[in-house]
Structure 1
Amino acid sequence: MSNLAPSDFQSSVTETATTSPISSAGEFFVQFWGVRGLIATPASNANRYGGNTACVEIQVAGKRLIFDGGTGIRILGKSLRQLQQPIEAHLFFTNSQSNRIQGFPFFAPAFVPENRFHIYGSAASNSASIKQCLCDQMLQPHFPYPFQVMQSELQFYNLLPGGKVQLDDVAIATALINQTQRSVGYRVSWQNKSVAYISDLTKNADPVDQEQILQLVKGVDLLIANATYSPPTANNHESSDLHWQAAVELAQTAAVKQLVISHHHPDDDDDFLDQVQTDVKSVFAQGLLACEGLVLSVGK
């Protein structure tokens, strides 16, 4: 794996969820397990789209890739346990903010000795590695059990944005797409198919960030991007285009084939998101909003 700095091995110590076994060598699909930004949103008016924070699973060429470990990764973990077989997966974090890592301590497969996980992330704004950030959130008084109780085989890699992770014939390109938040964007390519995962778009991105993003997502079959807002202030619903405009403009400029907008604001209820989806489709027919459980086949 080029452009990676591997660290030492770390070997130590109801909702309904369904998952399929690992995809066959000829399949490439995406499943959404968490679609909220900022904070989990358990509410009766958020049932259709879901209330868990970011987690996206990609199965490609017989490999399981997981992007971000928000609370949605707990539900993914419950479904993986149903497979009743050893699990190997690659976890990629966009940044180390709480809504991207807060579900990891509740990821049940990480406590099973037979399982193996490769974990990738870049240095946070305070220079902490992804391993340090995941460990710190499991220290007292934040969490009752330390990181070391996880019995699966955990291999950490320090990503250098701009490099590439090569998993046999699956290539994962990376770029620093938000310098302020130190956020990494990803592009997964296999054969002639590709998916880009960009979770930190801003309304007025730095020109350097804009160019990095454009190069990463150009011509992809599927772009997963966030709606934009200004956390942590209350969301203002006077004009929904303020939230989706940046993602749609990026999709149009980069000539992507399909757009999925995710990371919905906690204040965006189902009815509001329904209206956003209508608005998005009126200007970009191949655009839609992510909801928990959504499964998309890439390249078909």
Structure 2
Amino acid sequence: MSNFELSSPQSYVNQLAQPRSLSGQFFVQFWGVRGLISTSVSNTYRYGGNTPCVEMQVGGKRLIFDGGTGLRILGKNWSQLEQNLSAYLFFTNSQANRIQGFPFFTPAFIPDNKLHIYGTAATNSASIKQCLCDQMLSPHFPYPFQVMQAELEFNNLMPGQEIKLDEITITTALINQTQRSVGYRVSWQDYSVAYITDLYQELSESEKTGICQLAAGADLLIANSTYVSPVRQYSSSEDSQYQAAVDLANIAQVKQLVISCHHPDDDDEFLDELTKKIAAVFPKTLVAHEGLNLIISQG
């Protein structure tokens, strides 16, 4: 059974986590939990304001899901580690909030490091490599992509594709046709974590089937608070913000649900109340904050 090690939002003060040993364990850490755009106002301090980035260390490998501004903080943490780092970076889509931390990811600038990068084509058919390169073009960024000295291996991902990394299996599925977003399931030994952070309420039947299969029986489901646009739809029910994630958690019979990718307007007080509301309908729920650690397996 999974052993979830928790830390509260109050304990997070933007300190770097201590590097961990990779051997024989499966753990998840949240470095960015905000959707759409980062926020730095004081009333979001406890939960954090960086855009999405989740680290998984599993089966002796380092996996990263999404490269929002939280990726910069993760890179600072990894700068404490030995050289010759190897990591796998998986993007759910190529929108700004998922890729904007990549130009600031320190390990990408260090020779002898190696990054294996996976992502689907964008809505304009641009590859993940092109999307990452384009955001570093002048006048958007002072240095071109070519200044990165790590070895970067790009992999064009097709939804439904399965990736094998030794004993780790990574399964994918199309989550949101409009945004060309994919979800991931990481399986190792008898443990699994599903990362599905582009849920919305109006899903096609094929999307529902793929999503439910991806999450089925997972030890941990990481899902988003549902929002439709950058402008909050205050006329809609507050319950709709998390209902898609709760519905999926129930249907897929997951053991633990973590809500992430919070709207930038959701302050600490709002997220405290959201935690209580969701726990009332799905007790095994956490609302993610930066610095949250979850140990899935001690090995």
Shift of 1:235: 5.0
Query: 2 CA distance for matches of 1:104 and 1:187?
Result: 22
1:243 is the counterpart of 2:202 = no
TM-score w.r.t. length of structure 1? 0.93
Query: 2 CA distance for matches of 1:225 and 1:43?
Result: 24
Shift of 1:233: 1.1
2:62 equivalent among 64, 69, 75: 64
1:166 equivalent among 141, 158, 164: 164
The answer for the alignment partner of 2:19 in structure 1 is 20
Shift of 1:17: 1.2
Identity rate, percent: 64
Query: 2 CA distance for matches of 1:243 and 1:237?
Result: 12
Equivalences for residues 67-146 of structure 1 within 5 A: 67-146=65-144
Q: Could you say if the C-alpha distance between residues 100 and 89 of structure 1 is closer, same or farther in structure 2, counting changes exceeding 3 Å? A: same
Q: How many residues align?
A: 286
Which one-letter code corresponds to 2:160 in the other structure? G
The answer on whether the counterparts of 1:22 and 1:63 sit within 8 Å (CA) in structure 2 is no
The answer on whether the counterparts of 2:25 and 2:297 sit within 8 Å (CA) in structure 1 is no
Query: 1 CA distance for matches of 2:251 and 2:103?
Result: 38
Shift of 1:86: 2.3
Which one-letter code corresponds to 2:16 in the other structure? A
The answer for the alignment partner of 2:267 in structure 1 is 269
The answer for the alignment partner of 2:37 in structure 1 is 39
Q: What are structure 2's unaligned runs of at least 5 residues?
A: 1-12
Query: 2 CA distance for matches of 1:203 and 1:124?
Result: 22
Supply the RMSD in Å over aligned alpha carbons: 1.4
Query: 1 CA distance for matches of 2:186 and 2:233?
Result: 32
The more displaced of 228-237 and 92-101 is 228-237
Query: 2 CA distance for matches of 1:211 and 1:84?
Result: 42
The answer for the alignment partner of 2:226 in structure 1 is 228
Q: What are structure 1's unaligned runs of at least 5 residues?
A: 1-13
The answer on whether the counterparts of 1:188 and 1:194 sit within 8 Å (CA) in structure 2 is yes
Equivalences for residues 177-188 of structure 1 within 5 A: 177-188=175-186
The answer for the alignment partner of 1:280 in structure 2 is 278
Query: 2 CA distance for matches of 1:15 and 1:150?
Result: 26
Which one-letter code corresponds to 1:23 in the other structure? L
Shift of 1:82: 1.1
